[in-house]
Amino acid sequence: MGACDGKVALVTGSSRGLGKAIAQRLAAEGATVALTARTLEPDARYEGSLSQTLDEIVEAGGRAIAVQADLSSSEERERLFAEVVEAVGAPDILVNNAAVTFLRPLDGFPEKRVKLMLEMHVVGPLHLSQLAIPAMRERGRGWILNLTSVGGDLPGGPPFDEFDSSAGFGVYGTAKAALNRLTKSLAAELYADGIAVNAAAPSNPVATPGAGTLDLAKTDTEDISLIVETALTLCTGDPAILTGRIAHTSEFLRDIGWLRD
């Protein structure tokens, strides 16, 4: 018996990186996983694809489906959700992992890219949560997990160190801070419905394809298993107790006794 037996999980951005690893773990725990991202078939320009993730889950004895979608589009999100419900049922677990990130100083940040990042990091997760909530509420249980970042924490200062003043994390941090606030608000509003809403952030960069592209994972990298374990715990815990968390992996796993110094 796995921790997710009989449950349906929708994991966005699951063609590679953290989304893929979380989807594989949920499948290994018995969930039927709906995979979604923009890259359906292998493409030389990218590392990983939905079809590869799907094949690996099935070969390991798991159950999954793959639905290609551009989650920056409201219409695409609605289509995705309808196809998932028709194929495997409404999700018990929703993992909002899909994201797009551009790093540059705020004084020259293009408006188009600001809007795209906010759509992917904040509006999209809210919309998918809105689509998932009715069935979760009817069942009296559900789990929503948003993948966030320590970049959403406020920088120290003044004075500001060189990293905070030149790394170009302003829009990214703003989007993740908004996602954290959204997480807390949803958790409060859905608490009486038995729906857990949490956010999880690696304590340090994880060496995924996306982080590598942005030069974020050259030193002080974190084992991907830590964020996967955090995600599993937050997607299976008692919603009456384990909700409203903005969980930084190392601290969270120490709190629950899974990780020791």
Instruction: Give the residue extent of every domain in the chain.
Output: 8-255
Phi/psi for 93 (5° steps) reads -125, 130
Kindly indicate whether the domain formed by 8-255 is annotated with CATH number 3.40.50.720.
Answer: yes
Our answer to whether residue 46 is catalytic in this structure is no
What SS3 state is found at 2?
coil
Q: Find out whether 122 and 182 touch, Cβ atoms under 8 Å.
A: yes
Check residue 42 and give its pLDDT: 81
- Residue range 172-193: average pLDDT? 98
User: For residue 212, is pLDDT > 50?
Assistant: no
Check residue 215 and give its pLDDT: 47
Check residue 221 and give its pLDDT: 60
**Cα 65 from Cα 68, distance rounded (Å):** 10
- Residue 108, amino acid: G
Share of the chain above pLDDT 70, in %: 93
**Cα 180 from Cα 176, distance rounded (Å):** 6
144-178 burial, b at 16+ Cβ within 10 Å, e below that, comes to bbbbbbebbeeeeeeeeeeebeebbbbbbbbbbbb
Question: Which candidate in 124, 172, 190, 239 is catalytic?
Answer: 172
What SS3 state is found at 142?
strand
**Which structure tokens are listed for 218?**
């050259």
Check residue 209 and give its pLDDT: 55
Q: How many CB atoms lie within 10 A of CB 54?
A: 21
Phi/psi for 9 (5° steps) reads -125, 130
User: For residue 219, is pLDDT > 50?
Assistant: no
**Cα 102 from Cα 45, distance rounded (Å):** 18
Tell me the per-residue pLDDT of 14-43, one tens digit each, with 9 for 90 and over: 999 999 999 999 999 999 999 999 988 987
How far is Cα of residue 126 from the mean position of the Cα atoms in its chain? 12
